[in-house]
Amino acid sequence: MSRRSGLFALAFGSGFSVLVIEIAGARLIAPVYGLSVVPWTAVIGVILAALAVGSHLGGRLADAGKVPLSRVLIVAGFTGVLPVLGAGVPIAARQLLGFVPGAVASALILFAPPVLCLGAVVPFLVQADTESLDNVGRRAGDLSAAATAGSIFGSFCTGFLLLPLMPVTVLLGATAAVLIVLGLAADRLLGSAAADRKSYAAVVVLPVLGALAAGSPADALYDGQSLYAAVSVTERTWPDGRLVRELWQNGGSSSAEYADDGEPAHAYAKVSLEIMDSLALRPERALVLGGAALTLPTAFVRHYGSEVDVIEIDPLVTELAEAHFAYGWEPRPDIRVIHDDARLVLRQEGPSYDLVYLDVFDHLVTVPWTMVTREALADMAARMTEDGIFMANVLSPLEGGGSTFLARLSATLHEVFEDVRLYRASPDVDLGATQNLVVVGARARVHRELAWSEAPIEPAGRPLTDDWAPVEYLQARVFLGGLRWR
């Protein structure tokens, strides 16, 4: 390899590593902060700031000639292991600082140090590749393009290949080792003699650290990554003394069922079945948006003999449902799972349903904004029979700033449905605590009073629409106000 080719390889590798750290890092903190716009903004903002500061300092270090590029890359490698060793930082930062400041602090502590070093790489390479002022612009442009090309390739490779292939900590540990390798390559290419035995040993040690940090919790039956979420399956004894199996996605419990009989364990699922019984609703056909472990669809088949279509975007959770949950106990010909985006499927022609049930989350309490706009709800209503029922599971406090999303959602629901009611799944929970709420909507008035505590929320604010739905901001106010469950 020629010297210039080596310089381009270093630029490409540094750009690739930045995007691995950014994307895998965002997934690393997802169990605490989710993958909504708030943590992504924190991670992207910190990464860009670190690149800017690194580029500024790198130019000065390159001109001074006292610190070789190999040492900068080796430092990037050693600091690149911070996300692997600092698994407790995100939750500690959130407890100490709150949701938004905690997300920013987590990104600063875990991801800024290696990225700052990587930001310094291109200035060093430009200086090494410049022979005269006549071609400095072209050389700088070519090396910057190589680094950008590495970032582009890194984004696709990380998201589509590496994340589903290995645990996040292993990927970050391997990336740290690659940075050490780049430092050793720079040492040989530029003749700086900055490497030592520790650098060579780190190439082996850092991926091993990542593998050791990837150990699953003691109660985990599965722990891994998909294209869409960090996913795990656990089995533990709940306060009622019964053994419960749960599916977790990005830190939130998306399905829970009793291990002995496969019945739903979440309060909202139990209340939903009771409400359906009170409404004398025995759906022949039901549509469930968000299948997770398919606990609720399986219950519909068991209790009502329904035919259930499920739209679930993540094929991995369906595989886990079959391997670990009641869905897999016997053949389920009455349950058809469609792995696709719900909005796309809803826009297509299809059958009508007696029940449409929305149960989609992307973190602890956050609902994807695309599923709660007026247009999305209208698409769901269009799939209902004339006397069909819409139901949804929503998490929100009932007072304080965190309840603003619920008021806006209620206003949106009233734009689509003639009759809208919100019931508390656990009436004994304090109004200021985040809790499950079961939404019931119908095209005509439901002439039946149900024996559940209705949520004291009045519709307020502008309805959510596809062109303006600040759902993530509104739901972030739950965290800003202090998330609590009791």
pLDDT tens digits for range 167-219: 888 899 889 889 988 988 888 888 765 555 565 555 556 666 665 655 556 67
Mark whether 258 and 187 lie in a shared domain: no
Residue finishing a domain among 166, 186, 213:
213
Nearest to 435 by CA among 241, 266, 235: 266
- pTM value is 0.80
Residue finishing a domain among 162, 186, 213:
213
Residue type, 251: G
Nearest to 443 by CA among 394, 385, 392: 385
Mark whether 18 and 133 lie in a shared domain: yes
Which run of H or of E encompasses 232? strand 230-237
CATH code of the domain covering residue 417: 3.40.50.150
Task: Give SS3 for 354.
Answer: strand
Mark whether 152 and 265 lie in a shared domain: no
pLDDT more than 90, % of the chain: 55
Strand positions, DSSP E, 298-455: 307-311, 335-338, 353-358, 384-396, 419-424, 435-442
Is residue 75 in a domain? yes
pLDDT exceeds cutoff 70 at 480:
no
Is residue 486 in a domain? no
pLDDT value of residue 260: 95
pLDDT exceeds cutoff 90 at 466:
yes
CATH code of the domain covering residue 173: 1.20.1250
Are 373 and 464 contacting, i.e. CB atoms less than 8 angstroms apart?
A: yes
Give the count of domains, the chain: 2
Residue finishing a domain among 155, 182, 213:
213
Mark whether 193 and 311 lie in a shared domain: no
Mark whether 292 and 373 lie in a shared domain: yes
pLDDT band at 163 (very low <50, low <70, confident <90, very high): confident
pLDDT exceeds cutoff 60 at 154:
yes
Residue type, 182: L
CB atoms within 10 A of CB 240: 8
Tokens in use for 129? 């590749």
Are 374 and 409 contacting, i.e. CB atoms less than 8 angstroms apart?
A: no
pLDDT exceeds cutoff 60 at 135:
yes
CA separation, residue 266 to residues 66, 271, 329, 414 (Å): 61, 9, 20, 27
CB atoms within 10 A of CB 66: 8
DSSP 338: E
> pLDDT tens digits, residue range 440-450?
999 887 766 77
Mark whether 183 and 229 lie in a shared domain: no
Mark whether 383 and 406 lie in a shared domain: yes
Is residue 485 in a domain? no
Is residue 261 in a domain? yes
Span 23-32, mean pLDDT? 85
pLDDT value of residue 485: 66
Mark whether 190 and 326 lie in a shared domain: no
Tokens in use for 134? 């006549």
Is residue 121 in a domain? yes
pLDDT value of residue 212: 60
pLDDT exceeds cutoff 70 at 23:
yes
Are 244 and 218 contacting, i.e. CB atoms less than 8 angstroms apart?
A: no
Is residue 188 in a domain? yes
Is residue 156 in a domain? yes
Alpha-carbon distance 177 to 187, whole Å?
15
Mark whether 202 and 306 lie in a shared domain: no
Structural domain that includes position 414: 221-480
Mark whether 54 and 198 lie in a shared domain: yes
Mark whether 303 and 370 lie in a shared domain: yes
Mark whether 246 and 202 lie in a shared domain: no
